């Protein structure tokens, strides 16, 4: 009885590990660093997370997780509710539909593919922001953010891979 | 419990579609009815704010230590500069005292209605990543500390923004540089009325100047207090550029490095008739 319960708890905690980790990272990314201008172009941690988990462990990261992560991000940064969720879901959908492409590819290729997704996500986020504000908005911060996000990708991937092998791999 | 595989795939596919539609409609609904969404947002922010508060302490300590080291190396220069500034300020103090006495005397002569009284709530910035298209910050004071929507937020140097949404123990500050920020101001010397409108760039625009009115580089911009809500005379910034790109204002407050902020609790005691007239005029 207790063993069964423990086993179940173990399974639940493993299945929520990616999402919990992402929420923790989002909170850390929102902390005031007091670097001039950084808050404006802070890398899109949520996009990296959605991309990584959708490629490598989609079973632990359903669309609902991307949706929830997006809403949480919107609340945290005070943006229009649903905007991040929308972008992340599109990214999730794209990666899921192209998943076969990623199987067995080298890190550099996946990184390059992430770069494409990041540019697309940045463009859509920019369009959504303009559509909601009904005025032209500068695209420069979105571009900078894109570059920083792609640069941060290897580090977060390393962290996620560590989590994956230490917490999730044991079945 | 197990659902047949094809059915599961179907649910997954349409689940994704449903979620995309949900996210899209949330955006539209948020645009239409921001009141409901503000309250949802604030209650979530209330839950996260204490976590952010604790987690941002080490970051603050580190940046404080770095500042300390930097200041140590400049101690001598800084001291000399401060001595000079102090001498100047003493002179200004005398002038200010005279002006203040004279002001009080003239006010009593004219039987001028007293202005609203000010009190402050000090709050700490716990999250500042506004994302790319929003300029806002989360602070750790909320309704239980007397913070209300629309109140002015100051740093030591000048106006930072206004309270955009309030939770019980957290509030979101909409910076003066945000796309949605509009602050009624006057130019200090010429008393020309205008509006400081953010456009997400570091330097907000000065708009709605009356025809024929001009602004020149270096003019100080202060809040006008028109339309109620904000007290008059809070320093906002100075005119930094006048050109094709419009008139740009450089905020006095360093919006990139904010630790503690003061929320201005302003009791507007303008008589109702006068207030109504002001809003009428504002339209």
- Give pairs for B47-51: CB < 8 Å, separation 24+: B48/A27, B48/A75, B48/A76, B48/B127, B48/B138, B48/B170, B49/B126, B49/B127, B49/B138, B49/B140, B49/B142, B49/B167, B49/B169, B49/B170, B50/B140, B50/B169, B51/A27
Spatial distance between the Cα atoms of B150 and B179, rounded to a whole number of angstroms: 16
Q: What is the pTM of this model?
A: 0.78
> Domain range for residue A17?
3-29+42-168
Q: Take residue B60 and report the two structure tokens written for it.
A: 């603050």
Closest CA to B224 of B191, B261, B257: B191
Spatial CA neighbour of A97 closest among B204, B236, B20: B20
CB–CB contact B256 A39 (8 Å): yes
* Burial class of residue B33, CB neighbours in 10 A (0-12, 13-18, 19+): exposed
Angle between helices A140-163 and A45-56 (to 10 degrees): 50
In a domain, A122, yes or no: yes
Cross-chain residue pair A77–B131, CB shorter than 8 Å: yes
Q: Are strands B117-127 and B136-139 parallel, antiparallel or unpaired?
A: antiparallel
Mean per-residue pLDDT, B48-58: 84
What element of type H or E holds B77?
A: helix B75-110
Any domain includes A64: yes
Task: Give domain status of residue A119, yes or no.
Answer: yes
Cα nearest neighbour of B133 on chain A: A129
CB contact under 8 A, B127 and A64: no
Residues of chain A with pLDDT under 70: 1, 34-40, 168-171
Calculate how close chain A gets to B136, using CA atoms only, in Å.
7
Q: Do residue B132 and residue A129 have CB atoms under 8 angstroms apart?
A: yes
| Cα Dmax for chain B | 88
Mean pLDDT, rounded, of chain B: 83
User: Could you tell me if B129 and B118 are in contact, meaning their C-beta atoms sit under 8 angstroms apart?
Assistant: no
**Distance, in angstroms, between A170 CA and closest chain B CA?**
23
Identify the CA nearest to A48 among candidates A139, A165, A161.
A161
B260 has a chain A CB within 8 A of its CB: no
What is the tens place of the pLDDT at every residue in B15-50?
888 888 888 888 888 777 667 777 888 888 888 888
Residue A162 inside a domain? The answer is: yes
Identify the pLDDT of residue A151: 92
Domain membership of residue A129 (yes or no) is yes
Number of inter-chain CB pairs under 8 A, A vs B: 160
Q: Rounded to an integer, what distance in angstroms lies between the CA atom of residue A79 and that of residue A100?
A: 34
Residue B279 has pLDDT above 60, yes or no: no
What's the number of domains chain A is made of?
Answer: 1
Interhelix angle A83-97/B5-32, rounded to 10 degrees, is 150
Distance separating alpha carbons of residues B106 and B119, to the nearest angstrom? 25
B42 within 8 A of B170, measured Cβ to Cβ = yes
Q: What is the pLDDT of residues B208-236, one digit of tens each?
A: 888 888 888 989 999 988 876 788 888 99
Alpha carbon distance B198, B189 (integer Å): 23
Cβ contact B201–A138 (<8 Å) = yes
A37 in any annotated domain: no
DSSP for residue A167? I
pLDDT class for B13, splitting at 50, 70, 90? low
Residue B2 has pLDDT above 60, yes or no: no
Q: Are the Cβ atoms of A132 and B31 closer than 8 angstroms?
A: yes
Question: Is residue A62, in this structure, part of any structural domain at all?
Answer: yes
Position B172 pLDDT exceeds 50: yes
Task: Flag whether A16 is in a domain.
Answer: yes
Residue B22, pLDDT score:
87
Closest residue to B45, CB basis, from A38, A39, A75:
A75
* Residue A32: per-residue pLDDT: 76
Residues of A in contact with B55 (CB under 8 A): 27-28, 31
Q: Which residues contact B52 (CB under 8 A, 6 or more apart)?
A: A27, A30, A31, B126, B127, B138, B140
Q: Which two tokens stand for residue A104?
A: 């067995």
More confident residue, B273 or A73: A73
């Amino acid at each position: 009885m207790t063993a069964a319960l423990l086993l179940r708890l173990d399974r639940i905690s493993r299945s929520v590990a990616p999402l919990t980790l992402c929420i923790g990272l989002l909170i850390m990314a929102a902390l005031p660093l007091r670097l001039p201008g950084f808050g404006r172009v802070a890398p899109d941690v949520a996009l990296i997370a959605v991309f990584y988990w959708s490629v490598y462990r989609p079973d632990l990261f359903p669309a609902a997780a991307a949706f929830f992560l997006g809403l949480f991000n919107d609340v945290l940064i005070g943006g229009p509710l649903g905007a991040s969720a929308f972008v992340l879901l599109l990214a999730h959908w794209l990666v899921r539909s192209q998943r076969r492409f990623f199987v067995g590819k080298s890190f550099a290729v996946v990184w390059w593919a992430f770069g494409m997704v990041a540019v697309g996500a940045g463009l859509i986020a920019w369009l959504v922001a303009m559509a909601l504000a009904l005025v032209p908005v500068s695209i420069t911060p979105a571009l900078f953010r894109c570059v920083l996000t792609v640069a941060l990708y290897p580090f977060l991937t390393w962290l996620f891979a560590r989590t994956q092998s230490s917490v999730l791999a044991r079945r | 419990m197990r659902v047949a595989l094809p059915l599961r795939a179907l649910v997954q596919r349409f689940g994704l579609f449903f979620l995309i539609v949900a996210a899209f409609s949330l955006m539209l609904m948020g645009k239409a009815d921001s009141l409901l969404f503000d309250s949802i947002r604030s209650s979530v922010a209330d839950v996260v704010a204490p976590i952010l508060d604790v987690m941002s302490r080490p970051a603050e300590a580190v940046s404080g230590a770095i500042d300390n080291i930097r200041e140590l190396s400049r101690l001598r220069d800084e001291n000399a500069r401060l001595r000079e500034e102090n001498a100047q300020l003493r002179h200004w103090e005398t002038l200010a005292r005279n002006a203040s006495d004279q002001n009080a005397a003239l006010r009593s002569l004219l039987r001028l209605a007293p202005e609203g009284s000010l009190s402050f709530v000090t709050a700490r910035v716990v999250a500042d990543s506004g994302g790319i298209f929003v300029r806002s910050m989360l602070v750790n004071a909320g309704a239980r500390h007397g913070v209300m929507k629309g109140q002015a937020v100051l740093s030591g140097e000048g106006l930072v923004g206004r309270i955009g949404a309030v939770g019980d123990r957290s509030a979101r500050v909409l910076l003066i540089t945000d796309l949605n920020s509009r602050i009624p101001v006057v130019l200090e010397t010429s008393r020309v009325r205008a509006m400081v409108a953010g456009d997400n760039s570091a330097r907000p625009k000065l708009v709605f100047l009356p025809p024929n009115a001009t602004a020149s580089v270096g003019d100080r911009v202060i809040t006008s207090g028109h339309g109620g809500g904000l007290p008059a005379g809070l320093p906002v910034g100075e005119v930094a550029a006048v050109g094709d790109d419009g008139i740009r204002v450089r905020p006095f407050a360093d919006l990139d490095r904010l630790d503690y902020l003061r929320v201005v609790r302003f009791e507007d005691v303008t008589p109702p008739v006068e207030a109504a007239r002001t809003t009428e005029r504002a339209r």
